[in-house]
Amino acid sequence: MPLIDVSIARGRSPGQLRALMNALHDAAETTVGAASENITVIVREVEREHWSRTDTTIAERDSATDN
């Protein structure tokens, strides 16, 4: 009974998010033989201002590339 929980920075289209869920679902079916009805996928969108790496938020990195 796979539970796939993914965090991703906000900013993708509904279509992109749906494609991600579909690909993760398919991966669980094909790689571990999970039954489709037993697979749960959760996608959590995180505000770009609330996600940092090396003490720089994604929003700050986005802003730096815009300049």
Q: What per-residue confidence (pLDDT) applies to 38? A: 97
* β-bridge pairing 56-57 and 52-53: antiparallel
- The first and second tokens of residue 4, run together, are 């796939």
Q: What per-residue confidence (pLDDT) applies to 36? A: 97
Query: What is the distance between the alpha carbons of residues 4 and 7, in angstroms, rounded to a whole number?
Result: 10
0.75 surpassed by pTM: yes
Q: Answer yes or no: is pLDDT of 67 > 80.
A: no
Q: State whether residue 44 is helix, strand or coil.
A: strand
Q: What per-residue confidence (pLDDT) applies to 13? A: 98
Q: pLDDT digit string (tens) for 5-60? A: 999 999 999 999 999 999 999 999 999 999 999 999 999 999 999 999 999 999 99
Domains of the chain, CATH where assigned: 3-66 (3.30.429.10)
